[in-house]
Homo-oligomer: A and B are copies of this chain.
Amino acid sequence: MKRYKLVIEYEGSAYCGWQKQKKLPSIQQTLEAAIEKFSGEKVQVHAAGRTDAGVHALGQVVHFDFTNIGQHPPKTIMDAINFHLRRNRISVQSVAEVTEDFHARYSAKMRYYKYIILARMSPPVIDRHCWHVKAELSLDEIKRGAQYLIGTHDFSSFRAANCQSKSPIKTIEEISVEKKEQNIIIHIKAISFLHHMVRNIVGTLKLVGTGRIPAEAIEIILESKDRGKAGPTAPAQGLFFVKVDYSKK
């Protein structure tokens, strides 16, 4: 048996998300089909993050095992999978052979997301992978609001109703907010996240940015442990799963 680790990129809008679903195209099923086409082997692919419908990935990490077929050089595997993915919005960035104790999901030490808000009056026409907000947003206020989220908290206020995590306690290692031309980009780093956590945080920080709620409200919302107190879920198309770290930092 040989285990392979892949770093993959995808544009999420055409997919129902990472996880396989009946009758809907998923990243997982599309990738597994491409692997089977070149190898003849039915494999199961495990991902570091099971991204939702419409969410993009720049550096999603996955692994799978080949059991029957001989060893292939990583470059051959990459080219072969990319060939079979050529009509899809998924591509393999790198392939490496790893030991059997590596697990894309359980070995992950840190996960990085970013969220892009386009704050301007006219709609995006070139790069549509963002949340178009027709309002001026205060970068300083969003930065100030984000500070309250750093550290270990009960994130129940930012948790989707259907979240399957055992505990609502998570640790945000870092949030940084930057402005690039008309985009406001929110970077969030944590070992793991609750379902919709990043999008619920962004939806709430947007209310801070427009002045609807003060930056201090973030602390009160956190302490309330009440999803109803936070802002709406920001749309999927602005969210990018950026990368995963497997070594302790």
Tell yes or no: A31 within 8 A of B by CB.
no
Q: Mark A88-125, 1 if CB is under 8 A from B, else 0.
A: 11111100000000000000000000000000111111
Chain B's nearest CB lies how many Å from the CB of A203? Answer: 22
**A89: chain B residues within 8 A (beta carbon):** 125-126
Question: For the complex formed by this chain, how many copies does it contain in all?
Answer: 2
Query: In the complex, are the beta carbons of A10 and B93 less than 8 A apart?
Result: no
- Cβ of A6 to closest chain B Cβ, rounded Å: 11
Given A125-B10, A126-B56, A93 and B78 touching (CB < 8 A)?
no
Inside 8 A of A88's CB, which chain B residues have their CB? 125
Instruction: Report yes or no: B129 in contact with A129, Cβ–Cβ below 8 A.
Output: no
A 131-148 contacts with B by CB, 8 A: none
* Range of interface residues on A (Cβ < 8 Å): 20 to 34
Chain A's interface: helix, strand, loop or mixed, by majority? Answer: loop
Tell me which residues across on chain B come within 8 A of A91, comparing CB atoms.
122-125
10 A–B contact pairs at CB < 8 A?
A: A9-B122, A9-B125, A78-B122, A79-B121, A82-B123, A88-B125, A91-B123, A91-B125, A93-B122, A127-B129
Instruction: Name, among A89, A92, A122, the residue most crowded by chain B CB atoms within 10 Å (CB to CB).
Output: A122
Q: Is the beta-carbon distance between A126 and B129 smaller than 8 angstroms? A: yes
Given A9-B125, A78-B121, A91-B123, list of 8 further CB < 8 A pairs? A9-B126, A82-B121, A82-B123, A89-B125, A89-B126, A93-B120, A93-B122, A126-B129
B56 touches A90 (CB 8 A): no
